[in-house]
Protein backbone atom coordinates (compact mmCIF):
# COMPACT_ATOMS: atom_id res chain seq x y z
CA UNK A 1 0.00 0.00 0.00
CA UNK A 2 1.25 3.48 -0.86
CA UNK A 3 2.03 5.46 2.33
CA UNK A 4 0.39 8.59 0.88
CA UNK A 5 -2.97 6.79 0.67
CA UNK A 6 -3.24 6.04 4.41
CA UNK A 7 -6.38 7.18 6.13
CA UNK A 8 -6.08 8.82 9.51
CA UNK A 9 -7.84 6.93 12.28
CA UNK A 10 -8.58 10.17 14.10
CA UNK A 11 -11.18 12.53 12.64
CA UNK A 12 -10.23 16.19 12.33
CA UNK A 13 -11.14 18.32 15.36
CA UNK A 14 -14.44 20.16 15.05
CA UNK A 15 -13.05 23.22 16.92
CA UNK A 16 -16.16 23.67 19.11
CA UNK A 17 -14.40 22.65 22.31
CA UNK A 18 -11.62 24.37 24.18
CA UNK A 19 -8.31 22.59 24.75
CA UNK A 20 -9.33 22.11 28.37
CA UNK A 21 -12.65 20.51 27.40
CA UNK A 22 -10.89 18.20 24.94
CA UNK A 23 -8.43 17.14 27.66
CA UNK A 24 -11.29 16.45 30.10
CA UNK A 25 -13.11 14.41 27.44
CA UNK A 26 -10.00 12.36 26.72
CA UNK A 27 -9.33 11.53 30.36
CA UNK A 28 -12.99 10.84 31.07
CA UNK A 29 -13.24 8.52 28.07
CA UNK A 30 -10.28 6.56 29.41
CA UNK A 31 -12.00 6.19 32.77
CA UNK A 32 -15.26 5.10 31.18
CA UNK A 33 -13.48 2.50 29.04
CA UNK A 34 -11.83 1.13 32.19
CA UNK A 35 -15.33 0.78 33.67
CA UNK A 36 -16.51 -1.25 30.66
CA UNK A 37 -18.17 1.51 28.65
CA UNK A 38 -17.77 2.53 25.04
CA UNK A 39 -17.98 6.28 24.50
CA UNK A 40 -19.00 8.59 21.74
CA UNK A 41 -18.59 12.34 21.88
CA UNK A 42 -20.92 15.08 20.71
CA UNK A 43 -23.91 12.77 20.24
CA UNK A 44 -27.10 14.52 19.08
CA UNK A 45 -30.00 13.60 21.37
CA UNK A 46 -33.66 13.15 20.38
CA UNK A 47 -34.40 16.46 22.14
CA UNK A 48 -32.15 18.30 19.68
CA UNK A 49 -29.44 18.88 22.28
CA UNK A 50 -25.94 17.45 21.90
CA UNK A 51 -24.33 15.47 24.73
CA UNK A 52 -20.61 15.93 25.33
CA UNK A 53 -20.03 12.22 26.04
CA UNK A 54 -22.44 9.31 25.91
CA UNK A 55 -21.29 5.96 27.28
CA UNK A 56 -22.85 2.54 26.74
CA UNK A 57 -21.89 -0.75 28.39
CA UNK A 58 -22.68 -4.37 27.58
CA UNK A 59 -25.65 -4.36 29.97
CA UNK A 60 -27.17 -1.51 27.97
CA UNK A 61 -26.65 1.12 30.65
CA UNK A 62 -26.36 4.63 29.25
CA UNK A 63 -24.45 7.39 30.99
CA UNK A 64 -24.17 10.98 29.85
CA UNK A 65 -21.22 13.11 30.89
CA UNK A 66 -21.42 16.88 30.61
CA UNK A 67 -17.97 18.47 30.45
CA UNK A 68 -17.34 21.74 32.22
CA UNK A 69 -14.07 23.58 31.74
CA UNK A 70 -14.77 26.56 34.01
CA UNK A 71 -17.15 28.01 36.58
CA UNK A 72 -18.49 30.33 33.88
CA UNK A 73 -19.16 27.34 31.62
CA UNK A 74 -21.33 25.76 34.33
CA UNK A 75 -23.15 29.00 35.17
CA UNK A 76 -23.98 29.65 31.50
CA UNK A 77 -25.35 26.13 30.96
CA UNK A 78 -29.08 25.84 31.45
CA UNK A 79 -29.58 22.78 29.24
CA UNK A 80 -27.98 20.00 31.30
CA UNK A 81 -31.29 19.20 33.07
CA UNK A 82 -32.66 17.93 29.74
CA UNK A 83 -30.00 15.22 29.50
CA UNK A 84 -31.56 13.20 32.33
CA UNK A 85 -34.35 12.07 30.01
CA UNK A 86 -31.76 10.26 27.84
CA UNK A 87 -29.57 8.40 30.34
CA UNK A 88 -29.53 6.12 33.38
CA UNK A 89 -26.94 8.28 35.13
CA UNK A 90 -25.80 11.87 34.60
CA UNK A 91 -22.29 13.10 35.42
CA UNK A 92 -20.27 16.28 35.24
CA UNK A 93 -16.58 15.99 34.33
CA UNK A 94 -14.19 18.82 35.15
CA UNK A 95 -10.60 19.58 36.13
CA UNK A 96 -9.31 19.53 39.68
CA UNK A 97 -9.21 23.34 39.52
CA UNK A 98 -12.99 23.52 39.97
CA UNK A 99 -14.61 22.97 43.37
CA UNK A 100 -17.01 20.02 43.62
CA UNK A 101 -19.46 22.13 45.63
CA UNK A 102 -20.54 24.16 42.59
CA UNK A 103 -22.09 21.12 40.87
CA UNK A 104 -25.64 19.88 41.47
CA UNK A 105 -25.91 17.33 44.28
CA UNK A 106 -28.01 14.89 42.27
CA UNK A 107 -25.33 14.27 39.62
CA UNK A 108 -22.14 12.25 39.57
CA UNK A 109 -18.76 13.95 39.52
CA UNK A 110 -15.68 12.99 37.53
CA UNK A 111 -12.38 14.82 37.99
CA UNK A 112 -10.26 14.53 34.85
CA UNK A 113 -7.23 15.69 32.93
CA UNK A 114 -5.87 14.65 29.54
CA UNK A 115 -4.38 11.42 30.89
CA UNK A 116 -7.12 9.98 33.04
CA UNK A 117 -9.90 10.61 35.50
CA UNK A 118 -11.42 9.34 38.71
CA UNK A 119 -15.00 8.95 39.78
CA UNK A 120 -15.27 11.41 42.64
CA UNK A 121 -18.97 10.88 43.30
CA UNK A 122 -21.31 8.25 41.85
CA UNK A 123 -24.43 9.52 40.05
CA UNK A 124 -27.85 8.43 41.27
CA UNK A 125 -29.53 5.93 38.98
CA UNK A 126 -32.76 6.75 37.20
CA UNK A 127 -33.55 3.89 34.82
CA UNK A 128 -34.64 4.75 31.31
CA UNK A 129 -37.89 3.49 29.87
CA UNK A 130 -37.37 0.62 27.41
CA UNK A 131 -38.41 2.69 24.37
CA UNK A 132 -36.01 5.51 25.28
CA UNK A 133 -33.18 3.03 25.92
CA UNK A 134 -33.73 1.48 22.49
CA UNK A 135 -33.84 4.90 20.82
CA UNK A 136 -30.60 5.99 22.49
CA UNK A 137 -28.85 2.68 21.78
CA UNK A 138 -29.76 2.87 18.09
CA UNK A 139 -28.68 6.53 17.97
CA UNK A 140 -25.35 5.60 19.59
CA UNK A 141 -24.77 2.71 17.18
CA UNK A 142 -25.70 4.71 14.08
CA UNK A 143 -23.43 7.61 15.02
CA UNK A 144 -20.52 5.28 15.80
CA UNK A 145 -20.96 3.35 12.54
CA UNK A 146 -21.21 6.53 10.50
CA UNK A 147 -18.01 7.87 12.07
CA UNK A 148 -16.18 4.63 11.27
CA UNK A 149 -17.52 4.71 7.71
CA UNK A 150 -16.22 8.27 7.30
CA UNK A 151 -12.77 7.13 8.37
CA UNK A 152 -12.78 4.18 5.98
CA UNK A 153 -14.24 6.14 3.04
CA UNK A 154 -13.87 9.90 3.57
CA UNK A 155 -14.68 10.74 -0.06
CA UNK A 156 -17.93 8.77 0.17
CA UNK A 157 -19.05 10.90 3.10
CA UNK A 158 -17.84 14.33 2.01
CA UNK A 159 -21.20 15.96 2.71
CA UNK A 160 -20.86 15.11 6.43
CA UNK A 161 -17.53 16.93 6.84
CA UNK A 162 -18.98 20.33 6.00
Which pLDDT band, with edges at 50, 70 and 90, does 25 fall under? very high
- Specify if 48 maps to a domain: yes
What integer pLDDT is reported at residue 142 of this predicted model?
A: 93
The closest of 39, 41, 79 to 61, measured between CA atoms, is: 39
The answer to whether residue 46 is domain-embedded is yes
Domain assignment present for 141: yes
Tell me what percent of the residues of the chain surpass a pLDDT of 70: 86
pLDDT tens string 85-127: 999 999 999 999 999 999 998 999 999 999 999 999 999 999 9
Residue 6: inside a domain: no
What pTM was estimated for this model as a whole?
A: 0.85
With cut-offs at 50, 70 and 90, classify the pLDDT of residue 31: very high
pLDDT tens digit string along 49-60? 999 999 999 999
Mean pLDDT in residue range 26-52: 95
More confident residue, 9 or 121: 121
3-class DSSP assignment, residue 17: coil
Query: What letter does residue 21 receive in the DSSP assignment?
Result: H
Examine residue 68 and state whether it is found in any structural domain, yes or no: yes
Residue 157 lies in a domain: no
pLDDT of residue 161: 43
Could you give the number of structural domains in the chain?
A: 1
CATH number of residue 99's parent domain: 3.40.1350
Range of the domain at 58: 19-152
- Rounded mean pLDDT of 5-31? 72
- DSSP, collapsed to helix, strand or coil, labels residue 113 as strand
pLDDT of 160 higher than 60: no
Residue 19 clears pLDDT 70, i.e. is over it:
yes
Beta bridge partners of 141: none
SS3 128: coil
Decide if 1 is inside a domain. Answer: no
69 domain-assigned = yes
Amino acid sequence: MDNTARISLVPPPDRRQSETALAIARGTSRLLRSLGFSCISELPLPSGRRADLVALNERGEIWIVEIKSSVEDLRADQKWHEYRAHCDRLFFAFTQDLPCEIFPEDTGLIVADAYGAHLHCEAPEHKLAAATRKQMTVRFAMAAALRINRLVDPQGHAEFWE
